[in-house]
């Protein structure tokens, strides 16, 4: 894997699915020296993995319509209602839950 560099924009956290090979690759690309926290999806939590898979499916079919990865992520979180959360926007739900737990 020598010479590989991260291809995604810089983030401070990355959600990964538990798995030995995938974790090894991410550890190589984004490690603690870069200040990126790895958040591993909980084992036996299919809803978390399902959210990741739904994002990847939508990205595969819809990302070509956006000029950058970040513009697709903005669309996904702020402009696209999601059926699984009552046709709300993920950012609204996230910030509401964050406010309620403070």
For the stretch 35-79, pLDDT in tens is: 666 666 666 666 777 887 888 899 999 999 999 999 999 999 999
- Average pLDDT of the chain? 75
Whether the per-residue pLDDT at 93 is higher than 80: the answer is yes
74 and 60 in a common domain: yes
| Whether residues 1 and 17 fall in one domain | yes
Across the range 25-30, mean pLDDT stands at 55
Residues 16 and 55 in one domain: no
Higher pLDDT, 16 or 81: 81
Instruction: List the domain range (segments joined by +) for residue 22.
Output: 1-40
Q: 54 and 89: one domain?
A: yes
Is residue 18 left, alpha or beta, with left meaning phi > 0 and alpha meaning psi from -120 to 50? beta
- Cβ neighbors of 36 (< 8 A, separation 6 or more) are 11, 12, 13, 14, 30
Does pLDDT of 31 surpass 70?
no
| pLDDT (0 to 100) of residue 77 | 92
Number of domains in the chain: 2
Whether residue 4 is found in the same domain as residue 30: yes
């Amino acid at each position: 894997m020598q010479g590989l560099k991260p291809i995604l924009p810089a983030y401070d956290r990355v959600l990964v699915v538990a798995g030995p090979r995938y974790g090894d690759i991410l550890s190589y690309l984004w490690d603690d020296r870069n200040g990126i926290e790895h958040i591993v999806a909980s084992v036996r939590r299919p809803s978390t993995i399902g959210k990741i898979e739904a994002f990847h499916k939508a990205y595969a079919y819809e990302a070509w319509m956006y000029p950058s990865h970040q513009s697709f992520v903005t669309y996904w979180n702020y402009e696209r209602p999601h059926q699984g959360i009552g046709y709300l926007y993920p950012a609204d739900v996230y910030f509401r839950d964050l406010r309620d737990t403070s």
